[in-house]
Homo-oligomer: A and B are copies of this chain.
Amino acid sequence: MNTSIFDIDCQLDYQLAGPCDFLFQIHALQGLGQQVLEESLEFTPPVGARVYADPAVGHRFTRLQAGPGPLTLRYRAQVQCVLAQRDINAPEMPIAELPDEVMHNLMPTRYCESDLLSRAAQKLFGGLPRGYARVQAIADWIYNNVDYQIGTSVATTTACDVFRQRVGVCRDFSHLAVTFCRALNIPARLVVGYSRFDEPPPDFHAVFEAWLGGQWVMFDATRMAPVDEMVRIAMGRDAKDVAFATIFGPAVMTSMNPLIQPAR
């Protein structure tokens, strides 16, 4: 069994103009082939934080209050990942064979309006053989038809916007892929995690998973990082579910540096 070990050192700096509530998702996922060997989470100045896990998927949230003033989060971890075998012949599953808890991954969400792109998805991919290869074709189409360009999308950019404007970043690519999958009745979800990009700036990565052959299979429409070398943080219906930081209050992020590298 092929495994890798990664060192994560993630630092986020904020300036708070007043009291703020934070909901972070920065912990490496425990499970699904990942084992967190050690980890630490520090805040400067120190604040009390509560960590809890999503009951369905298991990713961890951190809630806290802070401010006014500066706030730095530093999360360090060593994580061992089992490299998943990819079954490139995995079939799409009939609706009737989808587990109950997977069904909601067929529904449109804030960023993934699969109801609005159903005919487009059918026209582009409806005639292809079903299964792993069709989802790969979706990822390939996005890679070939959408430009990766920092600064071209905003917090409100949805899959329909990306389909029209043909430009975006990793989360936009993944939202569009999720949307096409759902429009074809393939359950799909967003995955965020730590990943090594070749290009700056350092950022979290977003890829997607499709339900094939009775399990979740990861794809990356950006081709920016090997899916094998990503440490998962969370999975969700779209980026709203898995934001690394949801903030209530007057906070400004002044720097982010979610580093990951192979353990020495």
A130 at the interface (CB under 8 A from B): no
- Chain A 105-141: CB-based contact to B (< 8 A → 1; otherwise 0): 0011110010111011001000000000000000000
* A100 neighbours in B (Cβ, 8 Å): 52, 61, 63
Q: Is the CB of B166 within 8 A of A147?
A: no
- Shortest Cβ distance from residue A120 to the other chain B in the assembled complex, whole angstroms: 5
In angstroms, Cα B167 to Cα A138, docked, is 21
- Chain A 153-193: CB-based contact to B (< 8 A → 1; otherwise 0): 00110001001111100000000000000000100000000
A96 at the interface (CB under 8 A from B): yes
* A115 neighbours in B (Cβ, 8 Å): 110, 155-156
A65 closest partner in B (C-beta) = B96
Q: Is the CB of A95 within 8 A of B163?
A: no
- Shortest Cβ distance from residue A217 to the other chain B in the assembled complex, whole angstroms: 21
Interface of A, secondary structure class, is mixed
- Chain A 244-264: CB-based contact to B (< 8 A → 1; otherwise 0): 001010000000000000000
A240 at the interface (CB under 8 A from B): yes
Q: What is the interface size of chain A, counting residues whose CB is below 8 A from a CB of the partner?
A: 41
Q: Is the CB of A164 within 8 A of B120?
A: yes
In angstroms, Cα B107 to Cα A107, docked, is 16
A21 at the interface (CB under 8 A from B): yes
A147 closest partner in B (C-beta) = B119
In angstroms, Cα B113 to Cα A108, docked, is 13
A1 at the interface (CB under 8 A from B): no
8 shortest A-B CB distances, which residue pairs?
A: A21-B95, A119-B166, A108-B110, A107-B240, A95-B248, A120-B166, A52-B100, A65-B96
Known: A63-B103, A107-B241. 12 other contacts (CB 8 A): A21-B95, A21-B96, A55-B56, A61-B100, A63-B100, A107-B246, A109-B110, A109-B240, A110-B115, A113-B156, A119-B167, A163-B164
| 26 chain-A/chain-B pairs, Cβ below 8 angstroms | A21-B95, A23-B103, A55-B55, A55-B56, A65-B95, A95-B248, A104-B241, A107-B240, A107-B241, A107-B246, A108-B240, A109-B109, A109-B240, A110-B110, A110-B113, A113-B156, A115-B155, A116-B156, A116-B164, A116-B165, A119-B166, A120-B165, A120-B166, A160-B164, A163-B164, A185-B248
Chain A residues with CB under 8 Å of chain B are 21, 23, 52, 55-56, 61, 63, 65, 94-96, 100-101, 103-104, 107-110, 113, 115-117, 119-120, 123, 145, 147, 155-156, 160, 163-167, 185, 240-241, 246, 248
